[in-house]
Structure 1
Amino acid sequence: MKKKKLLITTALIGTMAFGTTVSTTLAHDALGSDVNKGEERLVFSNDDLKTLSSSLLNGTKNVSNFHEAAAVQINELDGVQNNTADVYAHKGYAYLGTHTANGANGGVRVFDLKDPSNPVEVAIFANDIPHTWQEKVIVKSVNTPHFKGDLAAVSIQQTSRNHSNRPNSVGGVLLYDVSDPTAPKKLGFYELDRRITGTHELYLTTQGNRAIVLASSPYADYYTHGENEDFQIIDVSDPSSPEKLWGWDPRELEEIDNDFNGYHWNAPDGHTRPVFNHSVITDNNGQYAYVSMWDLGTVIFDIKDPENPKYLGRTEYRDDQKGAAHSAALARGGNILIETREVSNPVGDGYEDAYGYTRILDIKDKTNPVLLSEFTTELTFDIPETSQGRTTFAKTVHDPKVQGNTLYLSYYSGGVIMVDITNPSNPTEIGRYTPDEANVWGVFVDRNYILASDMGQGLKVLTRGHQGNNGKGR
């Protein structure tokens, strides 16, 4: 019998669940308004993991010889079993963010991957601000006049926004020196207005001897009545003194009314659509930013001059298609954009019936993204006939990563789905990794392994080479 270590609701596992009660009049897939509070997920201990069935792993082409080398839960912290969020790797170490189970403050967990079959947790950091969670971490080697080494930028979010009984809880971006990953050192904190939940996702990049963070702080505009922006660029060249360089307000676009309240957009198609910044990435050279603005699409900026970025263009949607631009990745030297759309409520008046799926676009002309294809799975249209249990994150795509001509998608209950995008107009599934009781939040691809973060189960490591169980995991 499987042991239920801890139950958490979909309200906690959904990307946009920020612990704030809001009006149910808000639009689809945002602010937690349409979350089915009754759906449950499990958080397992290391002992519990032993009771699970073997993971399923099948693949062809370049993913045919991967196997599950390790599956390990993060350590308890002061007797508390936290759950994982996103995953990143740098110089042979994995960095796992944590979510909200058991009160949050799980920090970032560092694993030594010297032996990928035996990942060893060697450090915890960024858990010092009370009543917060640390979902996203990016690590880069930087060399500025003020700092040389490996810098980690960590997103910080309040578990309960602007809580009067929690005056020391605040969101923003924490900066750490992880040149020695076993002994991270706190350098600085970019602190947000307490009315803002915090920074949900972020990206760290360099431009010559300058380091900058691109921060996504959803609903900052809405919560502060236009005083702050959802998308900000922060100079972290001196990590002890981060400085805002620029922020963006979508009101500058012709299609956005001047009385836009920071969230509700009266779109030209007649829908009132949600607009907020969920995520952001850059190309490898830090020249362009790709900002996931939910139903406004993926907005593209030229950021060569980070104090004066230039708006270039954005993706758009069919009138019957929920936007929900959640995350992005690039392929073909930045000429192909992968856009994942996290839709947890598959129905809606005037919209198609579908959970979130992936779009692939040609962006050689960044002022005019052109849709090439859409990638769906059997989960996309697996919608119950009745509303009971219909709203779920389990069947929507989440995050994309690309290596060469292979797209890796984290897919909650679907695990990690691998897609051949050699012909981006005809994406083809070539592999799938699905742990038992899967709830995969993040995926990261390095030269020698694939990492997956399962919210309930911790770190998964896939490496190349066959093992004697027909490729079926443990």
Structure 2
Amino acid sequence: MPGRTLAVVALLTLLPLTAAAQAPLQLNTVLLGQITAPSSPWVAECQAYTDSMGRDFVLLCRGDSGFSVYDITNPASPILASSTPSTTNDLKDVAVKGTTAYLTQQGGDVLVVDISNPYSISVVNTISVSYGHNGNAQGDLFALTGTSGSLRLYDISTPTNPVFLTSYNSLGMSSTHDAELEENGTKLYAHTFSGSTTRILDVSNPSSPTELGQIPYGNHSGVTIQRPSGQIVHGAMREAAGGHIRFYDVTNPAAPSYLSSYQPPTAVNGSIHNAVAVDDRWVAIAYYNDYLRILDMQDPSNPVEVGIYDPTVTNVGSSIFAGAWSCDHVRTFTNGTQRYIVTEMYGPGGCYIVDFTGGQVPPQYQTNSGFQASLNVNGVVGSQYAPAITNLGIGMPGNLNMLSFNAGQAWDIGAGAAPLVPASAGALTSSDGQIVNLDLADPTLSLWFNFLQGPGYPAAPIVSLPFSFAAATSISAQMVVVSPSNASGIALSQAVRLIVQ
């Protein structure tokens, strides 16, 4: 028995270590970097910001520790660029218009900050209020909410000098937790903290908001997407045990209709916090203990979970209000990869920088095949997602440049007047993944050598043919060279598009 007891004790001693060593739960995500914040009592809202030089930054609210800006252009090595202290207490939220940030503090007063140089930010103004929790800026409007007091609207047509317009406090809106302005700034979704309703307001005349309708869910925050069909979908969220997101069709705001809901299976007794919409198709959610969840909303009546980053796989023993507080979209790359930032409210996690790869799109254009088949006009080179287009003036000289080390192999160039065809529009793809971007249905399409029936490629690998056009014209061209080393037996160059005008 003593031996068995000792074995059990040893096993129990190891259990926490085993749990701590668990790998994060991930679906189509890659952790790129992390900003730890061990000295901060908590980390709240984050927002992504790209400056005039194309550098990416995290704007990070740190409660009583103020506001920090981190350069995440190299996400593996974030740099603290600058910071400013809070002036009351609990700096909770940040909203941005252009190069101006509005910092909301729970203890009151909104700090207006110039972030045009992220390495040297400065407070340039203050909105004097006795409360604050969340702010949202769209167009010329800034909406301020608080867990006590009315919704307040400000004119920010001059971003550094907000002008108070009105407050709004309808029946049942003794406090407003969050307010979300639509991108055009004419509608506002107000989430009443003290109730379970989302109110849709017309703020086209911001000095006199009027209620358009109500969504029978929510008490916290929301997210809006507009589908290509014109359908407007709002996701209302409730912060509470079992709180989740419900999507409603609000195309007619007077009569919202329920579409669907989303809740991770591990969050039945957990809570959601906030979300961000990306490209009117994706919704990324900061889901407290379940951290970052990404939904494909192509069919709003059937949200599909396509992305997860959760560093704490088990939620046992955790507060329902611990974990991911906020998330934001940094950028979408040409291949469809989306970059996000996610904050961890309590704990040293700080802010995670995560790439979501589930939205990637396949290559659209063929690129030059190295030393086997390369083609360009005046040195212009495209990419897998951007065609090689050269613009010339009438009568201006140009050069058609070819390269191949497949000396003696059959080769050809196809040319026609039609624009290039991307893969998504039906371009022919070979068995080994090469893309023919010429329009094969183009009646003007012709081949120099009747498809590989001419002489072999010359011994000199580089061939340059000068040209000029006396009249406006447009030509697309692509080269093919026989390649015994490729599975398809050929090597394709990039397709080029010449526009003379």
Normalised-by-shorter TM-score class: 0.5 to 0.7
Letter in 1 for 2:301: T
Evaluate the alpha carbon distance shift between residue 219 and residue 380 of structure 1 in structure 2; reply closer, same or farther with a 3 A threshold. farther
Counterpart AA for 1:69: A
**Superposition deviation, residue 309 in structure 1:** 2.8
1:67 to 72, 79, 91: 79
Q: Which residue of 2 aligns with 1:153?
A: 143
The corresponding residue for 1:189 is 167
- CA distance in 2 between counterparts of 1:9 and 1:115 reads 27
Match of 1:94 in 2: 101
Structure 1 unpaired stretches of 5+: 1-6, 16-40, 50-54, 142-149, 159-170, 222-229, 251-275, 343-354, 426-474
Match of 2:119 in 1: 117
Q: Residues 86, 312 of structure 1: CA spacing in aligned structure 2 closer, same or farther, 3 A cutoff?
A: same
Q: Is the 8 A contact 1:408 1:417 kept in 2?
A: yes
Render the CA deviation track for 1:49-83: whole Å, top value 9, x for unaligned: 9xxxxx9x897x96246522102113x3xxxx323
* Structure 2 CA distance for partners of 1:320 and 1:280, relative to 1, 3 Å: closer
Relative to structure 1, the CA distance from residue 93 to residue 319 in structure 2 (aligned partners, 3 Å threshold; closer, same or farther) is closer
2:296 to 354, 357, 362: 362
1:220 aligned counterpart, secondary structure:
coil
Whole-angstrom CA distance in 2 between matches of 1:122 and 1:380: 43
Give the counterpart letter for 2:215 in structure 1: W
Is 1:211 the counterpart of 2:186? The answer is yes
Q: Which runs of 5+ in 2 are unaligned?
A: 1-38, 46-61, 333-337, 361-501
Which structure is richer in relative contact order (CA contacts within 8 A, separation 6 or more)?
Answer: 1
Match in the other structure for 2:219: 277
Residues 156 and 424 from structure 1, CA distance in 2 versus in 1: closer, same or farther, beyond 3 angstroms? same
Contact 1:58–1:64, Cα closer than 8 Å, also in 2: no
Alignment partner, residue 480 of structure 2: none
CA, structure 1 residues 424+186, in 2 after alignment: closer, same or farther (shift >3 Å)?
Answer: same
Shift of 1:420: 0.7
Larger Rg: 2
Alpha carbons of structure 1 residues 198 and 172: separation in structure 2 relative to 1, 3 Å: same
After TM superposition, the score normalised by the length of structure 2 is 0.52
Equivalent position amino acid for 1:176 in 2: Y
Kept after mapping to 1: 8 A contact 2:114/2:123: yes
Question: Counterpart in 2 of 1:415?
Answer: 350
Q: 1:180 to 1:312 in 2, by over 3 A?
A: same
The separation in 2 between residues aligned to 1:328 and 1:8, in whole angstroms, is: 23
Q: In structure 2, what is the equivalent of residue 309 of structure 1?
A: 256
Alpha-carbon distance, 1:14 to partner: 9.2
Q: After the TM superposition, which parts of structure 1 deviate over 6 Å for at least 4 consecutive aligned residues?
A: 7-10
Instruction: Tell me, yes or no, if structure 1 residue 241 matches structure 2 residue 208.
Output: yes
The CA deviation at 1:8 is 12
- Quote how far apart the aligned CAs of 1:91 are: 1.2
Is residue 267–residue 290 contact of structure 2 (8 Å, CA) maintained in 1? Answer: no
The letter for the 2-side match of 1:188 is T
Higher normalized strand content (fraction of residues)? 2
Distance 1:213 1:242 in 2: 9
**Given the superposition, is the C-alpha separation of residues 68 and 9 from structure 1 closer, same or farther in structure 2, using an over 3 Å criterion?**
closer
**2:66, 2:83 within 8 Å by CA — same for their partners in 1?**
no
Deviation at 1:281, TM superposition (A): 1.9
Counterpart-to-counterpart distance in 1, 2:101 and 2:66: 19
3-state DSSP of counterpart to 2:286: strand
The code of the aligned residue for 1:212 comes to K
Secondary structure (helix, strand or coil) at the match of 1:200 reads strand
* Displacement of 1:183: 2.3
| Cα gap change, 1:411 to 1:197, in 2 (>3 Å) | farther
Q: CA–CA distance in 2 between the matches of 1:185 and 1:292?
A: 30
Partner of 2:233: 288
Contact map agreement 2:233 2:300 (CA 8 A) in 1: no
Question: Does structure 1 retain, via aligned residues, the 8 Å contact 2:213–2:255?
Answer: yes
Q: Match of 2:271, as an amino acid? A: A
Q: TM-score, normalised by structure 1?
A: 0.54
Q: Which amino acid aligns with 2:191?
A: S
**What per-residue deviation string (whole Å, max 9, x for no partner) do you get for residues 7-54 of structure 1?**
9999xx999xxxxxxxxxxxxxxxxxxxxxxxxx983589xx9xxxxx
Residue 341 of structure 1: CA displacement? Answer: 1.6
